[in-house]
Amino acid sequence: MENLVSKDEVRRAVAEARAVGQRIALVPTMGALHEGHLSLVRAARERAEYVVVSVFVNPTQFGPGEDFEAYPRDLEGDLELLEAEGVALVFAPATSTMYAPGATVTVDSGPLGDVLEGAIRPTHFRGVCTVVAKLFGIVEPDLAFFGEKDFQQLAIVRTMVSDLDLPVRVVGCPTIRESDGLAMSSRNVYLSPDERAAATVLYRALRAAEARAGAGERDARVLVEAMRAEIAAEPLVVPDYAEVADAVTLAPLDALDGPPARALVAARLGSTRLIDNLALEVG
């Protein structure tokens, strides 16, 4: 496994792999890897001969007062995990490599980036789109793998690829959960024991909406209220939102009567902010 920090070295290595007919896959990460990330790597290895994983804590997707400096970092541990998974190349650049001094051009996330997470973190998805577009330009992958846990991010990256005619196929992979349902996240390490126990309410809230939809409930307001009631019963959790939205446009739904629907929640536990989501189907 190669561990590279130079854009030119990455381009050369990928070009050599492509020259011998290998398909290129990219798994973008911010490191502090867990089983959720590794599931993306395994999915990539099933679809491509040459897998690149980027490890880069991207400063432009963190807003003022967010946890950029405190975000967990463990490059040595990440490299050990990725070598064991058979990754061909790890790209772990410095911030100065990814963002040249004086760089001013960014990639706007469009209207999908203004709702849900974007309403609370106004510059977040611009930073995501900019760094993902840069990674696509450096690696030029045939396939790129993202987790459904960050569902809005996945939807925005797919839209960016479509709208900008980028030659990469975006593959979404299922959320990986702990045994009690909590979605795996690098930020889970911030949680105190009491907060960790309380955090499972997010999945319970999503399952409450899923159960009602499965029983035939079509009124999205009923599903939203079910999620809010579940979260309100947990005193350590401060909700940011609970929504039922169109899975493609992310527009709020009044009823589950056509387009694929997604239940999405976000909440704070102490200083930690977590998100989760689940597909909804009417039974």
Q: Does residue 238 carry a pLDDT above 90? A: yes
Mean pLDDT of the chain: 97
Q: What are phi and psi of 92, to 5 degrees?
A: -125, 75
pLDDT score recorded for residue 283:
87
Tens digits of residue pLDDT in 167-191? 999 999 999 999 999 999 999 999 9
Catalogue all structural domains in the chain, each as residue range(s) with its CATH number. 2-173 (3.40.50.620), 186-280 (3.30.1300.10)
Task: Please say whether the beta carbons of 236 and 222 come within 8 A.
Answer: no
Residues composing the chain:
283
Work out the angle between the directed axes of helices 151-163 and 124-139 (0-180°, nearest 10).
60
CA atoms within 13 A on the CB side of 253: 24
pLDDT score recorded for residue 168:
98
pLDDT score recorded for residue 135:
98
pLDDT score recorded for residue 280:
98
pLDDT score recorded for residue 128:
98
Its pTM surpasses 0.95: yes
pLDDT score recorded for residue 159:
98
Tens digits of residue pLDDT in 62-80? 999 999 999 999 999 999 9
- Distances 39 to 103, 135, 177 between C-alpha atoms, Å: 34, 20, 11
Amino acid letter for position 185 = S
Catalytic residues: 37
pLDDT score recorded for residue 258:
86
pLDDT score recorded for residue 213:
98
pLDDT score recorded for residue 72:
96
The answer for residues whose C-beta is within 8 angstroms of residue 177's C-beta and 6 or more apart is 183, 184, 203
Tens digits of residue pLDDT in 243-264? 999 999 999 999 999 889 999 9
Tens digits of residue pLDDT in 213-232? 999 999 999 999 999 999 99
Tens digits of residue pLDDT in 16-62? 999 999 999 999 999 999 999 999 999 999 999 999 999 999 999 99
Q: What share of the chain in percent tops pLDDT 90?
A: 99
What integer is the mean pLDDT of 1-9? 98
pLDDT score recorded for residue 184:
98
Q: Per DSSP, what are the bridge partners of residue 246? A: 261
Structure tokens at 189: 């390490």
- Distances 15 to 82, 88, 139, 151, 232 between C-alpha atoms, Å: 21, 13, 9, 31, 53
Q: What are phi and psi of 228, to 5 degrees?
A: -65, -40
